[in-house]
Structure 1
Amino acid sequence: MKRSDKADRIGEILDRLYPEPPIPLDHRNPYTLLVAVALSAQTTDKKVNQVTPALFDRASTPEEMAALDPDEILGLIREVGLAPTKARNLSTMAHQIVDAGGELIPTFEFLESLAGVGHKTAGVVMAASFGVPAFPVDTHIQRLAARWGLSNGTTVERTESDLKAVFPRETWNRRHLQIIYFGREHCPARRHDLTTCPICSWTATKKRIAQEAQG
């Protein structure tokens, strides 16, 4: 089966399971979404959502965040992974945004110029807050794309390119969220029997199924 045919069928399944997938990170505006996504690196969304209410009560705008001492930010986000680095980045990021006028500029170039913001984080904000077609790929989406035979990319950048090639542009913003939810509910990283998965069972190669059964 061609990748494009697989993608069409996968898209039908995902649309049926998750017709309107919500953003899993709680936020109040585009800026707080940017902060939440930046905090989610090497940390679960659940943990981020436990930490951000108190943080956003203190600072839900770049101006408010810039007014906080980095140590105060650290105290509010201490439970997330890499907290010291992220606290410094949030402070620097806030000052960068204030210096640029106080609002997020809806371009990848601007967002990726901010401290602690990579292409994936920028993509989430561009898609969710500004409606720009984007396909943010993290290691979880990369794993499923490989299982499903949609990409053999060894980098998230290559996987993103492969997925953009097989899914229609108008589906990208919901498709990446659908894949995240599908992975959590049906396609975990470990101890997953691919033969019982609604998608892996017919997309994965026999070699892949055998390899994961041994793992």
Structure 2
Amino acid sequence: MNFLYPNPIPTLYYTNEYTLLISILLSSRTQEKKVNEITKILFKKIKKPTDTVCLSIKNMENIIKNIGIYKKKSKNIYDLSVILIKKYNELIPKNISELKSLPGIGHKTASVFLSYVSNIPVFPVDTHIHRMMIRWKLSNGKNVQQTEKDAKRFFKKENWKKLHLQIIFYAKKYSPSRKWNLKKDLIYQELIKIK
């Protein structure tokens, strides 16, 4: 992967740790491009949890209404902001179990956040990584949790952070879920040769 993406840079738009968490939450079941369009507007209004609480759920809904499950996401953003104010002094915890206790923050969202802001070894598995691990026969693909265990076993810990982005970028360009062209999938072609 290093020959294609030697220094992968995250493409989600954010301005600080709080807005990063919101961006990741919003990107669930929504294309990153659409999320970035919305967050460029949203983050002019909210930069910290107290801004969100002052904004109201209804106003949040109006800003993010063009992305998937926007009503639920609006409520989760509001509720997690209240918790961050009351319990964490507006700071985001860097502990995966505490992160997962926040509304709308599941294992993947928490892992992606930690991969951006900490040195905690995490290997977030999204739909792209899940697909590639199955195509490359590195996982049976029964579920994302199993795929994550397989990825952590197969790849060196020091490469997880970088590989997470490299595999996503590769999957989008060379091995998409629709209109997959085997001839363009460089890694798949190499795996065929090995067999």
TM-score tier (shorter): over 0.9
Match of residue 153 from structure 1:
141
1:125 aligns with 2:113: yes
In structure 1, what residue type is equivalent to 2:73?
K
1:172 aligned partner, one-letter code = W
Which of 98, 107, 110 is matched with 2:98 structurally?
110
Please give the alpha-carbon distance, in whole angstroms, between the structure 1 residues aligned to 2:49 and 2:3: 38
Once residues 37 and 156 of structure 2 are traced to their aligned partners in structure 1, the CA distance between those partners, rounded to angstroms, is 35
> Could you say which residue in structure 2 is the equivalent of 1:185?
173
Greater alpha carbon shift after TM alignment, 185-194 vs 108-117: 185-194
Q: Which has the higher contact order (CA 8 A, sep 6+)?
A: 1
Cα deviation 1:22-70 (Å, max 9, x = unaligned): 1120111111111001001110000000000111111111121122210
* Amino acid corresponding to residue 94 of structure 1 in structure 2: S
Is 1:20 equivalent to 2:1 in the alignment? no
1:167-211 C-alpha deviation (Å, 9 max, x unpaired): 110100110110000011111111212244111113269xxxxxx
Give me the whole-angstrom Cα distance separating, in 1, the residues matched to 2:192 and 2:53.
Answer: 48
CA shift digits 1:106-163 (9 cap, x unpaired): 0001110111001000001111012322110011210111001111131111000000
Is residue 42 of structure 1 aligned with residue 65 of structure 2? no
Q: What stretches of structure 2 of length at least 5 have no aligned partner?
A: none
Provide, for residues 85-106 of structure 1, a one-character-per-residue CA deviation record: whole Å limited to 9, x for no partner.
1101110010011112210010
Q: TM-score, normalised by structure 2?
A: 0.95
In structure 2, what residue type is equivalent to 1:126? Answer: L
2:71 maps to what in 1? 84
TM-score, normalised relative to structure 1: 0.86
Q: Determine if contact 1:148/1:204 at 8 Å carries over to the other structure.
A: no
| Overall identity of the aligned pairs, in % | 35
Query: How far apart are the structure 1 equivalents of 2:57 and 2:74?
Result: 6
Cα distance in structure 2, aligned partners of 1:143 and 1:157:
13
Letter in 2 for 1:160: E
Name the SS for the 2:14 alignment partner: coil
Paired with 2:19 and 2:157, the residues of 1 have a C-alpha distance of: 26
Q: Indicate the residue corresponding to 1:174 in structure 2.
A: 162
> Which residue in 2 is equivalent to 1:99?
86
